Amino acid sequence: IAVLPFDNFSPNPEDEYLSSGFTEVIIANLAKVKDLMVISRTSVMRYKNTDMSLKDIAKELNVANILEGSIQRTDRKIRVVGQLIEAKTDKHIWAETYDADFNDIFSIQTSIATEIASALKSQITESEKLVIEDKKTDNIEAYEMYLKVKELRREELYTSAKIRKELLKKIIGIDPQFAEAYALIALEYSEAVHYGFSENIEQSQKKAKVMIDKAFEL
């Protein structure tokens, strides 16, 4: 299966980070099902805004099924539309529309993964289900900021580094148990040293070590 980048149908074009983050989570969740072979995010991103047919995309990626969809946010409401298509026949195997509060985004992500696995007649073990249901954080504000940081990292690594660190510090302040946020800020300090834009190499190395140790501890 290949999960194509979800389209951003929100009135605000800046909500692109939401569709990108949502796509990444769906790919990660499906990859946790051992019965499924899931194409990586890196491989599918080149098909964002493409006019290629699904059949041609499936042929290039050597997959039988393609999941495509869209996400639309209006204030604190969210609509997610997903459809799973069998590439060879262009037949819909599964389709669903979710209308919910933005706070319910976690349950939508879980539902899509489990329903698709079921539609493809894949077995999900209890342990796999628990891993899929496991959330990075219970705090929706921290999660949204985390998605923004991830999108900024995709756009440009150097120019937004300071903004990303500030956002990550805010995230940790909101949810001190958010392990992924500590891991990501450790990466920020490490990359600053690696790519040569750290103002104080020794201090950056120390901060990276403190943050990654905390991430592992959590």
- Segment 108-164, tens digit of pLDDT: 999 999 999 999 988 888 899 889 998 899 999 999 999 999 999 988 778 899 999
- Round to whole Å and give the CA distance between 105 and 101: 8
Dihedral class, residue 179 (left if φ above 0, else alpha if ψ from -120 to 50, else beta): alpha
Q: Which residue has the tokens 């628990």?
A: 130
pTM of the model: 0.88
Buried b (16+ CB within 10 A) or exposed e, 47-57: beeeeeebeeb
Phi, psi for 77 (deg, rounded to 5): -105, 150
Angle among Cα 81, 128, 126 to the nearest 5 degrees reads 110
DSSP 48: T
In this predicted structure, what is the pLDDT of residue 12?
Answer: 87
User: What local confidence, expressed as pLDDT, does residue 61 receive?
Assistant: 96
User: Residues with Cβ < 8 Å from 189, sequence gap 6 or more?
Assistant: 198, 204, 205, 207, 208, 211
Residue ranges, the chain, pLDDT below 50: none
